[in-house]
Amino acid sequence: MNNALARRGAPTIRQVAAVAGVSRATASRVINGGHLVSPQTRAAVEAAIAELGFVPNPVARNLATRRTGSVALVVPEPNARLLTDPFFGGIVNGLSLALDDSDLQMLLVIARRGASTERASRYLTQGHVDGAVVASHHRDDALNRELVASGIPCVFLGRPLDVVTPYYVDVDHTAGARMATEHLLRTGRRRIGTVAGPPDMTAGVDRLDGWRQALQGAGLPDDAVVHGDFTARGGAEATARLIEAHPDLDAIFVASDLMASGGLTQLTQRGRSVPHDVAVFGFDDIGVAETTDPPLSTVAQPLGEMVARAGRMLMALLAGEDVPPEPILYEPRLILRASA
C-alpha cells in the first residue's frame, strides 16, 4: 500500500482514486456500477479497492445513484383490516420473503382515506422510496393515480380500477366465482344468492360478475345480492340481510372467506344447517376456510406466489430490465370442503 496514503480510519474513495491513478469521479462510477469506464480503468479501481480494503459507504452510494435502498408496500386500508384480515398478513409476509435475497428494505405504508392518503402520496413521490407494491384498490383511490403519474416504479397486487398500468399481478376473480357457482349448480342448488364484495373494488366487481354469469347461463335469477365489506362482521350482517330478503335460498356464494366465516355463524344462529339447508362457498383459501364449522369450500388464489411475482417484477423494473408491459393473471382453483 502507498504509505503516503495510509492513515488511521477507513480508506476513502479519494484514496481509491489516487491508488488507481484515476479521478474521484471515475472511481465513483466504478463503485456505483456505472458503465462509462474502460475495462482497464475498472480493473485498476477494483484492484485499488482490494488493496485498500475499501468498503463503499451505502449512504453516499445511494446519494450518488439517487437510490434509497427501500421499497414500499402500500396498503390503502384502515389499521383494523390490516391487523385482522389474513389476506394482508399474507401480503406482508410474501413480499418480505421475495425481497430476502436483495439489498432492498420493505417499508409498510398504510394510506387511510383523507389526510393519511395525502401524506403517503407526498412521501412516496418525493424520493423516499425507490418503488412500491400497492395492494387493495378502491375506485376512488387518488393515491393510485398519483403514483402512476409520478413515474415511480409501481406494481399493483390486483387490477387497479380507473388507473391505466400494465404492471399488476392478479387472479382471475371472474372465472373463480363462476366456477364456484357452477359447482353449486352441479350439486343441485337452484336458488343461489351472493354476499358480494365492495362495489368499488376489483375483487368485489369481478367476483359478482362471475356469479351472475353462472346463473344467467343456467337461466336462473340473479337478484339475490347483498354487498359486504370483506370483514367477518360485515359478512355476518350481509348474510342476515340476504336471508331476510330471500328466505328461499339453498346456497350462498360469498366473495371472501372472512365474510363467509361470519355468514356461517349467522346461518347457525338462525337454525339453518350448512350444507343441508344452505350450501356456502367462499373465496381466497388463505387460512380461515379450514377453521370454520363446517370447513369452508372456497376458491383458492395462490397469494404467496402472486406477491412474490409482484416483488420480482418491481425489482426488475428498478434494475432497468426489459419487463413485458402486460399483467400477470393466475388461474383460480376450487377447494371442496364440507360447507358445499
Phi, psi angle pair for 195, to nearest 5°: -100, 100
Are both 70-171+304-330 and 173-302 of the same fold?
yes
For the domain 70-171+304-330, what is the CATH code? 3.40.50.2300
Q: Report the range of poorest mean pLDDT among 52-56, 224-228, 296-300.
A: 52-56
CB–CB of 128/69 below 8 Å? no
pLDDT at residue number 3: 41
CB–CB of 236/255 below 8 Å? no
128 vs 306: CA distance, rounded Å: 25
Q: How far is CA 188 from the centre of its chain?
A: 36
Q: What is the mean pLDDT of residues 93-117?
A: 83
Would you state the torsion angle of the CA atoms of residues 124, 126, 128, 134, taken in this order, to the nearest 10 degrees?
20
pLDDT band at 1 (very low <50, low <70, confident <90, very high): very low
The pTM score is: 0.78
Domain ranges of the chain: 13-65, 70-171+304-330, 173-302
pLDDT at residue number 114: 67
Residue 119's identity, in one-letter code, is: R
pLDDT digits (tens, 9 = 90+) for 285-333: 988 999 999 999 999 999 999 999 999 999 998 888 888 889 999 999 9
- Residues near 46 by beta carbon (within 8 Å), at least 6 away in sequence: 30
Residue 9 pLDDT > 60: no
Q: Is 2 exposed, middle or buried (0-12, 13-18, 19+ CB in 10 A)?
A: exposed
Residue reference for cell 371472474? 174
pLDDT at residue number 80: 66
Q: What is the mean pLDDT of residues 102-131?
A: 84
**Domain 173-302 class in CATH:** alpha beta
The most confident of the ranges 59-73, 98-112, 113-127, 246-260 is: 246-260
What length does the chain have? 340
Q: How far is CA 191 from the centre of its chain?
A: 34
187 vs 138: CA distance, rounded Å: 35
Phi, psi angle pair for 332, to nearest 5°: -80, 165
Closest CA to 111 of 85, 89, 142, 83: 142
The mean pLDDT of the chain is 88
165 vs 154: CA distance, rounded Å: 9
252 vs 239: CA distance, rounded Å: 9
261 vs 303: CA distance, rounded Å: 19
- Please determine, looking at this structure, whether the domain spanning 13-65 carries the CATH number 3.30.420.40: no
pLDDT digits (tens, 9 = 90+) for 187-206: 999 999 999 999 999 999 99
